[in-house]
A and B are shown apart, each in its own frame.
Chain A
Amino acid sequence: MGSTVATSVIDVSKTFGQDKDQVTALDRVSVDIRENEFFTLLGPSGCGKTTLLRLIAGFEHPSGGKILLHGEEISHLPPFKRPVNTVFQSYALFPHITVSENIGFGLSMQDKPANEIKETVAAMLKLVQMESLADRRTDQISGGQQQRVALARALAPHPKVLLLDEPLSALDYKLRKEMQIELKTLQHETGITFIFVTHDQEEALTMSDRVAVMNQGRILQVGTPKEIYDHPAERFVADFIGDTNFLAADLNQSDNGRMMVTLPGGRTVETTQSDFPGAGKVNITIRPEQASLINGPSAADLSGTINNVVYSGNDTHVHVMLESDEPFVVRVQNRGAQSAQWESGQAVGIKLEPGSVQVLQD
């Protein structure tokens, strides 16, 4: 896998409306997307992820900053002059032509010779396993099939970058799972850079090489799914991706130069993190599965009283009210009788796994 940059977004801003009604959709966003990478823009609705995608596609033009494709500026080009194709959220298949004509549309607009179009369309139909439905109208096929056609249509002109705008959101759960794997495989096979937009954190974690978490028009953190999950930089990132606990703590440098976090209740744990907001009052986050419950406070890092036990199949979420009056959730795997021993009103201790304390930037 090469590490050359496919798309550079440099200091890009986008505002809509004027004067009083002005809305900032993107606020000086910069990110480099590498070649052959499955890159995901993740965030809640309205965070600017779709706007960023539309700017790269060319449907909108940035209010500030620029966008490079393989080093060449494309910010001023109309969409039909950018070697970039989009898979739309609603698929946007042309209803007046057949499946094959849809797939060949981009190539015929590029004035490719007829036999080349025919060959590529056949190859694309094979790639997405739609050969038998080639001559159907697009309103005569199912949602999952439409999704495949949309993908084939966007891949047929062999774009340098493929943009995917929440393409799986209209599919039901099982089909979505299947398509996630298929998309990932397809990205590998074609070697095309995928920029994928989603609000589904699970989807982002399973499919991506790297994820950019966005909120309120800014990119908060870029990293591999593991980096984002294990080392969230900000409270929003930690909260948006997976379940987590937040606590107020103190950060101090010990005599031998190690960074120590003092938990509510007085226990101190070491942190191996290198990026600190500075000593003093900090917020920390601890994932529910990286803590365990023990009887009695003796060996515990935190202690409190159970106020709720929620069974959820795979595991049980035990809600504990700490002595510092902060809520804390521990996830206990449902193996044997492990979870059955905990019940409401019980006083418990919480033991943290080494390295589970993550100090946040904000």
Chain B
Amino acid sequence: MEVTISTAELLTTDGIPLKQSLRKAERRNKLRAFLLVFPLLLFIIVTFVMPIGDMLLRSVDDSQINSVFSNTFDEYKNWDKEADELPPEEVYKSLFFELANGDKRQIGKALTRMNYAKSGWKSLIKKTTREIKKIVKKGEEPVSYKDTFIKINKLWADPTYWYSFNQMVSERSSIYYWNAIDRTFDKDGDVVLQDEKRRMYMNTWIRTFKVSIYVTIFCLILGFPVAHLLANLPLRYSNLLMIFVLLPFWTSLLVRTTAWIVMLQQNGVINGILVWLGVISDDGRIQMVYNEAGTLIAMTQILLPFMILPLYSVMRVIPKSHMRAAQNLGAKPAMAFWRVYLPQTIPGISAGGLLVFVLAIGYFITPELVGGKDGKLIGSWIAYHLRTTLNWGLCAALGGILLGIMLIFYWLYNKIVGIDNIKLG
């Protein structure tokens, strides 16, 4: 029998190419699927993607001050810091006119920005502007703008003020990111450590990591047995236990956090019981709250369900016969657990671990309330700059670093375990 192998395109019964016909048939389904998710997609773009994008732009954006002092900054870049102790006359001249003629509101904004770079700028410029305006009113033209400035205020002869311009002279700058890890630019524009009294973020970053890792580990240690029990108890007991696990979800975060304050404070329930039992003396009450320990305890309790639930969902589907089979094959229970059970829970461990870690690293309310001075995490700084100093660039940089860390973890996780292995429920 002769067999002809056709290399031509497959056709439908009506003679239309099969692929084209299939595309046509599926176009409708695709459109329907798209329309179904469209409202949510729009919502996410407007409320999530755009704000985050805007915030991330702010972390590298210095355009406002550059538009206010554009001439001054241009002249400033010509200053040879090795040769002259102070900037050339041109810088002073440009600044003179930009302060004299500039829009008051824009200058005000720029001053706030300048104060982030070096405190003292705001009052110095305000005083100077008043004097400059007087000079302009009188119609005098100064012989030396530099001398005029220094006459108005001695600080204009202090080069450290001028050096701080380095942090602001480019429209796109990484200074906020450097600031977020206690670094700044020196007079040559090189990255250096901040002054000792202005270093505050690195310690917080380290603490944030430490607390997040500890919380993740504690949650795993506490959550693993509970999840195992949940997955193996008869249904009516496991349902009851599940309610206890989920109970925290149904109470307000604020209530739970303040409850921990009641429990842990020096005159609180736990100290009271310990004193009553005679474990500690009345003067030896333990400080368990308003410090790192308080943050750790409260965060572990609050984040525990996020570890238990993914673990539970993974453990529930591991057949009980696996442990039996392992023992039947000669493995002692501990060995059977280590070689057969534990490896199968890894998707749950990693999902729970990643979830708890990511939540912990950006946690705010609980550390703010129970953390005291040395239990605060990086979220507190973000909130502080967002509401109090209005230094949104720094806020955005801190948040951007946080986001970056999470993405790195996500990438690492995907490399090591594979994101397909994640199992949340």
Asked if A and B are interacting partners, one says no
